[in-house]
């Protein structure tokens, strides 16, 4: 290792010229430490939401709080902006109130732990992680009430406090918080697991400092941040134009009878910086679908998209943040005013990904992905079992990933790439229910040269009476296709009572009473298609018909006619493709599906809903 030491009067550390091999070692050590944090958490948490699905997000930051490795961007600055106390060695901070950290976490179910990492009395870094708690109190089990009109109804709000003070655990504070939760054992165990994950980050950072020296480690992190900034500046210069481009998408409804809610963004480049202006987004909702969007989180979403499209080898970090200017109107759906309810912000959060993808792809449509599974539909089921013991399930559903420039969208996948499904055997072992069907919904993925992924149909049979809550979207507005691809299928939720009565449920509802042997059909939406479906290989279509991913009728969306033995009727296929060719509008980048007026006229007929809500159309 070769290092040249220079004095830097503005920092407690000396500036060091780090050689490329050392830089590479530190970079990969940070990546590995981030994954070790996940492994520590998932092996020690209790709730299936974290233990099985992975609903938690780690972070390793430098001594200034800039993210070096992670996924969501740095939580540190939002915390520091809202915290007015001291920070000392041995402290571990804990918070969950979005309004006290500028949206670094965006609803009260996410418990955030932050740990300053000290070495020889100097702050050398931070470890942090947040995870979704199954329950934090509030109006309904699961703490995600659609009917909430204030954050005070959504469970306990934890301001930035010290869970550990100079290494001493503050048990009285912990007891007060856990006393508000319906599942205190899970919440306490999950919190301990998050702390353990942060201690893993601390251990690995200190090992790097011991191996290379504090000054070399800090200088290497500075260099990694700087390298990311230079790379992103190049991507912005070559990929973003000065001409303004806009796109808008919608959250279908707010669960209280109003919607859809528009999310609009305009993007352009100005003096080497990207402007993301959300003017035109609808005002905040009275219900809990508001999303207090942290500007740094949005910058990381933007950066990850740019990196994954143009140069996946770049390490995600915060180095490029001053190259992105985020403008969000006060009082909008994305910047609601306190004390607006926030618990069901997932739908707006997910729609941000569709909007960003549409913006970034308009200049280069060949890199554009369609709209897909941009949300995390939730099912909550709770009550008392035959032993009079409380049970409570929180589960995230999966759906169809959109068709992409380089291939089909996966069937039945998650919005978050790191999430995994909860095994059905686990659910049946720990909760009074039975999974009688778990399968891909044929034809739910939009047709295209690259097919959209199919949604999933889950058939739950409830074995004990209780209550369920559902939080989902895309039941009204279609996931849009691109470059000639078709929209994906929308979601439906249907409850069949034990006596045979069928009830079509809205996508957002709380406190639905269920009895033994009631059945819920939980159908998620599909991803949209990419490219002209008539250009898809007919043999591939025939194979997917045989596999049950596309129906015989659905194959005609690709201009393919399938015989009873799954062979291709080549004469009929040639004729059908010639007939359909004039209807495929490949010159239009986006295929949004039916117009808003058509949707308004037909939505209840198509979904089977008999107006359980009366939307006030925007």
First-to-last C-alpha distance (Å) of the chain: 63
Same domain, 507 and 575: no
Same domain, 472 and 560: no
Same domain, 469 and 568: no
Same domain, 430 and 557: no
Same domain, 417 and 561: no
- Return the closest-CA partner of residue 320 out of 335, 339, 305, 332: 305
Q: Give the model's pLDDT for residue 613.
A: 39
Q: Give the model's pLDDT for residue 605.
A: 59
Looking at the DSSP bridge assignments, the partners of residue 413 are 399
Same domain, 195 and 50: yes
Q: Which residues of the chain have pLDDT under 70?
A: 1-10, 309-314, 603-618
Q: What are the phi and psi torsion angles at 139 (to 5°)?
A: -70, -35
Q: What are the phi and psi torsion angles at 268 (to 5°)?
A: -160, 170
3-state secondary structure 567-614: CECHHHHHHHHHHHHHHCCCCCCEECCCCHHHHHHHHHHHHCCCCCCC
Residue 549's Cα: distance from chain center in Å?
25
Same domain, 39 and 164: yes
How many Cβ atoms sit within 10 Å of the Cβ of residue 230? Answer: 11
Q: Give the model's pLDDT for residue 581.
A: 95
Token pair recorded at residue 391: 């049970």
Q: How distant, in Å, are the alpha carbons of 43, 140, 343 from that of 145?
A: 30, 6, 7
CB 131 within 8 A of CB 110: yes
Token pair recorded at residue 80: 């520091």
- Return the closest-CA partner of residue 185 out of 52, 46, 48: 46
Q: What is the DSSP string of 378-438?
A: EEEEEEE-TTS-EEEEEEE--BPPPPBTTBPPPSSB-SSTT--PPPHHHHHHHSSEEEEEE
- Return the closest-CA partner of residue 414 out of 49, 13, 84, 40: 49
Looking at the DSSP bridge assignments, the partners of residue 275 are 268, 325
Same domain, 556 and 496: no
How many Cβ atoms sit within 10 Å of the Cβ of residue 356? Answer: 20
Element (H, E) at 310: helix 295-310
Let me know if residue 347 belongs to a domain.
no
Range of the domain at 10: 3-231
Residue 289's Cα: distance from chain center in Å?
14
User: What is the spatial distance between Cα 520 and Cα 461, in angstroms, rounded to a whole number?
Assistant: 7
Total tally of structural domains belonging to the chain: 3
Q: What is the DSSP string of 153-164?
A: GSS----SEEEE
Percent of residues, the chain, with pLDDT higher than 90? 75
Let me know if residue 244 belongs to a domain.
no
Q: Give the model's pLDDT for residue 13.
A: 87
Q: How distant, in Å, are the alpha carbons of 134, 391, 459, 617 from that of 381?
A: 11, 8, 14, 31
Same domain, 470 and 563: no
CB 224 within 8 A of CB 251: no
Same domain, 539 and 524: no
CB 595 within 8 A of CB 239: no
Token pair recorded at residue 410: 């996966």
Same domain, 544 and 431: no
Let me know if residue 445 belongs to a domain.
yes
CB 304 within 8 A of CB 312: no
User: What is the spatial distance between Cα 301 and Cα 319, in angstroms, rounded to a whole number?
Assistant: 14
Last residue of a domain, one of 206, 231, 256: 231
Q: Give the model's pLDDT for residue 1.
A: 35
Last residue of a domain, one of 178, 196, 231: 231
Let me know if residue 197 belongs to a domain.
yes
User: What is the spatial distance between Cα 157 and Cα 391, in angstroms, rounded to a whole number?
Assistant: 23
Same domain, 431 and 550: no
User: What is the spatial distance between Cα 196 and Cα 213, in angstroms, rounded to a whole number?
Assistant: 25
């Amino acid at each position: 290792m070769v290092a040249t030491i220079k004095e830097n009067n503005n920092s407690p550390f000396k500036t060091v010229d780090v050689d490329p091999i050392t830089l590479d070692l530190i970079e990969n050590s940070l990546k590995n430490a981030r994954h070790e944090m996940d492994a520590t958490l998932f092996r020690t948490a209790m709730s299936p939401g974290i233990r099985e699905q992975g609903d938690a997000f780690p972070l390793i930051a430098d001594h200034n709080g800039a993210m070096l490795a992670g996924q969501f961007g740095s939580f540190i600055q939002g915390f520091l902006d809202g915290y007015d106390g001291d920070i000392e060695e041995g402290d571990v901070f804990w918070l969950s109130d979005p309004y006290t950290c500028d949206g670094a976490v965006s609803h009260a179910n996410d418990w955030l732990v932050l740990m300053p990492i000290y070495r020889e009395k100097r702050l050398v870094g931070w470890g942090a992680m947040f995870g979704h708690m199954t329950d934090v109190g509030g109006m309904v089990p699961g703490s995600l009430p659609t009917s909430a009109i204030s954050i005070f109804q959504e469970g306990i709000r934890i301001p930035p406090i010290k869970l550990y003070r100079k290494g001493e655990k503050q048990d009285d504070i912990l007891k007060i918080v856990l006393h508000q939760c319906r599942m205190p054992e899970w919440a306490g165990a999950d919190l301990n697991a998050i702390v353990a994950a942060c201690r893993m980050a601390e251990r690995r950072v200190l090992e790097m400092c011991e191996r290379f020296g504090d000054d070399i480690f800090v200088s290497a992190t500075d260099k990694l941040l700087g390298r990311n900034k230079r790379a992103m500046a190049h991507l912005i210069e070559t990929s973003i134009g000065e001409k303004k481009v806009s796109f808008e998408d919608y959250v279908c409804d707010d669960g209280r009878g109003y919607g859809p809610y528009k999310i609009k963004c305009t993007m352009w480049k100005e003096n080497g910086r990207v402007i993301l202006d959300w003017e035109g987004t609808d005002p905040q909702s009275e219900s809990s679908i508001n999303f207090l969007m942290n500007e740094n989180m949005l910058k990381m979403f933007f950066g990850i998209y740019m990196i994954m499209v143009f140069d996946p080898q770049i390490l995600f970090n915060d180095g490029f943040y001053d190259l992105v200017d985020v403008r969000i109107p006060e009082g909008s759906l994305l910047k609601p005013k306190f004390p607006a309810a926030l618990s069901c912000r997932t739908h707006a959060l997910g729609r941000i990904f569709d909007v960003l993808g549409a913006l970034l792809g308009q200049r280069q449509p060949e890199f554009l992905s369609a709209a897909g599974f941009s949300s995390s539909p939730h099912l909550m089921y709770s009550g008392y079992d035959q032993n009079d013991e409380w049970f409570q399930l929180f589960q995230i559903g999966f759906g169809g990933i959109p068709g992409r420039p380089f291939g089909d969208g996966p069937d039945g996948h998650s919005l978050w790439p790191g999430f995994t499904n909860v095994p059905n055997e686990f659910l049946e072992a720990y909760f009074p229910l039975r999974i009688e069907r778990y399968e891909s919904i044929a034809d739910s993925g939009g047709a295209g040269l690259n097919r959209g992924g199919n949604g999933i149909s889950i058939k739950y049979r409830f074995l004990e009476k209780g209550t369920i809550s559902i939080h989902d979207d895309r039941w009204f507005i279609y996931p849009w296709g691109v470059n000639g691809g078709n929209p994906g299928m929308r979601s439906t939720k249907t409850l069949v009572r034990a006596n045979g009565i069928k009830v079509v449920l809205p996508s957002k509802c709380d406190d639905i009473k269920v009895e033994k042997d009631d059945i819920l059909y939980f159908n998620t939406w599909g991803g949209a298609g990419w490219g002209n479906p008539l250009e898809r290989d007919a043999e591939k279509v025939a194979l997917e018909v045989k596999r049950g991913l596309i129906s015989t009728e659905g194959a005609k969306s690709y201009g393919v006619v399938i015989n009873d033995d799954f062979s291709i009727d080549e004469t009929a296929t040639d004729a059908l493709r010639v007939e359909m060719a004039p209807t495929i509008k490949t010159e239009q980048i986006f295929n949004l599906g039916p117009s808003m007026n058509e949707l308004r006229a037909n939505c209840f007929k198509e979904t089977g809903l008999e107006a359980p809500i009366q939307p006030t159309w925007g």
